[in-house]
Amino acid sequence: MKYQNTVIIFLSSVLLIACKDQLAPIPENALQPTAVTEALPHDTDDPSIWIHPTDATKSIIVGTDKDTDGGLYAFDLKGKIVAKSEVLKRPNNVDIAYGLVIDGKKVDVAVTTERESNKIRVFSLPDLKAIDNGGIPVFETEKLRDPMGIALYTRSSDKKIFAIVGRKSGPSGSYLWQYELSGSGKWATAKVVRKFGFYSGKKEIEAIAVDNELGMIYYCDEQFGIRKYKADPALNDNKEVALFGKTDFKADNEGIAIYKKTDSTGYILVSNQQANTFMVYPREGANGNPNNYPLLAEIPTSTIECDGADVTNVNLGKNYKNGLFVAMSNGMTFHYYTWNLIQKSIDEQRKK
């Protein structure tokens, strides 16, 4: 939830926020961002990182500006706006994939949900040009549509790309729909290949992340827990693989980011939205069980009530040699953190 007419005051390193509805205070020991983006016009919600194919220092962060008059924005590694999409009707979440074949050519794409039109929108990267002929309708025939969350899965066997789309509300068992993306002439198209996903009914499902190498989907059933499913629709397996984090969050469990130390190890980071922290779990599981997710650490950040996050382990240059963690913050910005800061905090807490 976002708030308007917020007054922010810094006093003795403690962030005090005066507004009609109190926002969560920043922890006194919060990590300080390496960079903060230029502010967007309306309401930031979700970021995704695109890695430049030949020069990683030219990589960009694509983020949503969630408003009826919003859009996608691209930022450089200093946080400067370098590109903007056409106007979109309340884009919510965004994800990125590489090598979607359009008109015989491989195109890197950013795909976002457009809530007020009940569509997903597809844009080429890094120029953010629409390649979807006005958008692709989702949750057709359903009474409950209102798309919110999205994550892209690239299947390792054939490099086909799939969009997993969530919505504001929906039936348990088929809350999420999975679409296979492809090209028809010069336009991106999509077809439904799967409907799945349990839902507690407590709040909503917005944050979705995919681990391509391990072939797994994670999503936040807000105020209930984090659910895990297999990603490949060809497996015809809609059984829930794991449910974790049920007692770890102050209120909403939100944005998910997966840091990959190797092809099979690393961390799953989930926003503890009303505490302004990120909860860290082992990507590979624990004690020989890939579906056992004990809490490893809680990372305090300077983000305010974070909705969305992304992370990469790629060396992006001197400030981000071991990768970059980016998170949305109330106040119309995204915060960049050098991964070294996050790793140091994880290591310190695990030694205790």
Q: Which one-letter amino acid corresponds to residue 87?
A: V
Question: How many other C-beta atoms can be found within 10 angstroms of the C-beta atom of residue 124?
Answer: 17
- Residues 171-212: tens digit of each pLDDT: 999 999 999 999 989 999 999 999 999 999 999 999 999 999
pLDDT grade, residue 68 (50/70/90)?
A: very high
- Domain for residue 314, yes or no? yes
- What's the pLDDT at 90? 97
Burial, 191: exposed, middle or buried (Cβ in 10 Å; 0-12, 13-18, 19+)? exposed
Find where tokens 């009826």 sit.
68
Three-state DSSP class for residue 267: strand
- Domain for residue 1, yes or no? no
pLDDT grade, residue 257 (50/70/90)?
A: very high
Residue 66 pLDDT exceeds 60 = yes
- Residues 9-53: tens digit of each pLDDT: 333 233 333 333 578 899 999 999 999 999 999 999 999 999 999
Q: Which domain holds residue 119?
A: 7-351
CA angle 93, 228, 115 (to 5 degrees): 20
- What's the pLDDT at 21? 56
What CATH number does residue 246 fall under?
Answer: 2.120.10.30
Residue 3 pLDDT exceeds 90 = no
- What's the pLDDT at 24? 85
- Domain for residue 340, yes or no? yes
Average pLDDT estimate for 314-326: 97
Q: Provide the CA 203 distance to its chain's centre, in angstroms.
A: 18
Residue 158 pLDDT exceeds 90 = yes
- What's the pLDDT at 15? 39
In contact, 104 and 93? CB cutoff 8 Å: no
Residues 6+ apart with CB under 8 A from 332: 39, 40, 41, 42, 43, 44, 65
Structure tokens at 220: 């936040």
Average pLDDT estimate for 154-175: 97
Average pLDDT estimate for 286-294: 97
- What's the pLDDT at 208? 98
Distance, in Å, from the CA atom of 96 to the CA atom of 48, rounded to the nearest integer, reads: 6
Residue 70 pLDDT exceeds 50 = yes
User: For the chain, how big is the Rg over CA atoms in Å?
Assistant: 19
- Domain for residue 129, yes or no? yes
Distance, in Å, from the CA atom of 16 to the CA atom of 23, rounded to the nearest integer, reads: 9
Structure tokens at 292: 């056992």
In contact, 193 and 179? CB cutoff 8 Å: yes
Q: List the one residue out of 86, 49, 61 whose CA is nearest residue 71.
A: 86
Three-state DSSP class for residue 184: strand
- Domain for residue 134, yes or no? yes
- Domain for residue 2, yes or no? no
- Domain for residue 209, yes or no? yes
Residue 8 pLDDT exceeds 70 = no
Structure tokens at 7: 């007054």
Number of domains in the chain: 1
- Domain for residue 85, yes or no? yes
